[in-house]
Amino acid sequence: IAAALGALGWKIAIGARRTDALAEVGKAVEAAGGRPFAHALDVTDPESIERFFAATEQALGPVDVVVNNAGIGLPGLLHEMPIDNVERELATNLLGPIRVARRALPTMLAARRGDLVFISSMNVVEPRPFQLGYTAAKAGLEGMVSVLRRDLEGTGVRATVVRPGATRSEFGFGWDPSILMRVIDSWKEWGYMRHLDMMEGAHVAHAVVSVVTAPPGLHVDVVQVNPERKPGS
């Protein structure tokens, strides 16, 4: 997403807890033609959010597009997993984007323009077993955005959901192999694995770019993208 926005020639602020990974993303933004600025960011920490925005505004100026893409998934059954896992998912996937949007809004409202993009999940419309906390957070996120969109009507600021299906990424890399097999078996049983093909991150990025480059006065509410089954797969 950062590289795709950089290809528009934009100044791009990137934030993450893993500051070592930001350097690689920054290089991709620069290679695409953008101007990167990297800074540590933990969306579960209000002070970290404030430091990120303050540093970004000082380096690049006012923020007019925000893409809320931070997310974690901690699979398990409610009666088996620690309740702390659910709390972490809600803090990162729901409260985090709310905090980030709240920090960005005053500047956007003053400028009477801006885009708030929230990366959701197909889990909202096709809830998957073993992803109770993740699904609850993403469903809550979409509910929040539907209200925010109405609250922002006529301000020039847009709030949009991008809802991707299976995407190739690091998501799930840290899952315990034993729980992963149970997850896969349950998804097959419920018919959520019609095929194993996945989208690339660039496909989701294309959807984000289409949202934030839409002409003023046009509000794209939800963009849902899914991988197509490849021939022979």
Would you give the DSSP letter of residue 6? H
Q: Is the pTM of this model over 0.85?
A: yes
76 forms bridges with which residues in the sheet? 131
How large is the C-alpha radius of gyration of the chain?
18
Residues 7, 170: Cα–Cα separation, whole Å = 23
Task: For 147-165, write each residue's pLDDT tens digit.
Answer: 999 999 999 999 999 998 7
Residues 219, 146: Cα–Cα separation, whole Å = 12
Residue 173 pLDDT > 70: no
Task: For 31-57, write each residue's pLDDT tens digit.
Answer: 999 999 999 999 999 999 999 999 999
- What confidence score (pLDDT) does residue 177 get? 75
* The one catalytic residue among 53, 118, 130, 134: 134
Share above pLDDT 90 across residues of the chain, in percent, rounded to a whole number: 69
Residue 233 pLDDT > 60: no
- What confidence score (pLDDT) does residue 94 get? 98
Whether 192 sits among the annotated catalytic residues: the reply is no
By CB neighbour count within 10 A (0-12 exposed, 13-18 middle, 19+ buried), where does 87 fall?
middle
Collapsed DSSP state (helix, strand, coil) of residue 24? helix
